[in-house]
Amino acid sequence: MSQPLSSGRPGKSEFSHGKSRYAHPDSDFQSQRSLPWDLGENETDLVRDYHASLRSDPTNSMEDLSKMLYVRGNPDMYGPDETIIQEDRVLPHGKYPQPVYRTGVTRQ
C-alpha cells in the first residue's frame, strides 16, 4: 500500500528555496562543479529583480533595488506584503571531487 503525499511546504534544498518567493541571490550550487560555461542570470533572477523594482519608490531613482528583496512591500503604493527573500542562502555541504588530468610523461 502506498503512502499519500504529505502536504505542506518543502524545506530548503537545491531544488526548493523554501517558504520565500524566490531563492536567496547568494545561493550557489553550480560554481564547485567546474562547468565549461559561465554562470549568469536566468529568467527567474530577472523576474525577482522586477518584483523588487515594484516595491521601490518611483520618485527616488537612487534607491538600491537589492534592499527591496528584504523589506515588507511598499506601504505607499501597494501595502505591506511578505518579503521576497525569507530564507538564508544555501550552499552545498562539501566539494565535489574533481578529476585529475595527467599529461606528458612522468620519468622516475
- The residue among 73 and 1 whose pLDDT is bigger is 73
In a domain, 48, yes or no: yes
In a domain, 35, yes or no: no
- The residue among 84 and 90 whose pLDDT is bigger is 84
In a domain, 31, yes or no: no
In a domain, 32, yes or no: no
In a domain, 9, yes or no: no
Domain count, the chain: 1
In a domain, 87, yes or no: yes
Query: Per-residue pLDDT for 44 more than 70?
Result: yes
Query: Per-residue pLDDT for 1 more than 60?
Result: no
Domain span holding position 75: 42-92
Q: Are 37 and 100 in contact (CB under 8 A)?
A: no
Q: What residues pair up with 12 in beta bridges, in sequence order?
A: 17
In a domain, 66, yes or no: yes
pLDDT score at 3: 59
pLDDT score at 10: 63
Residue in the block written with cell 537545491:
14
In a domain, 63, yes or no: yes
Contacts (Cβ under 8 Å, ≥6 apart) of 53? 65, 68
Average pLDDT over residues 1-17: 64
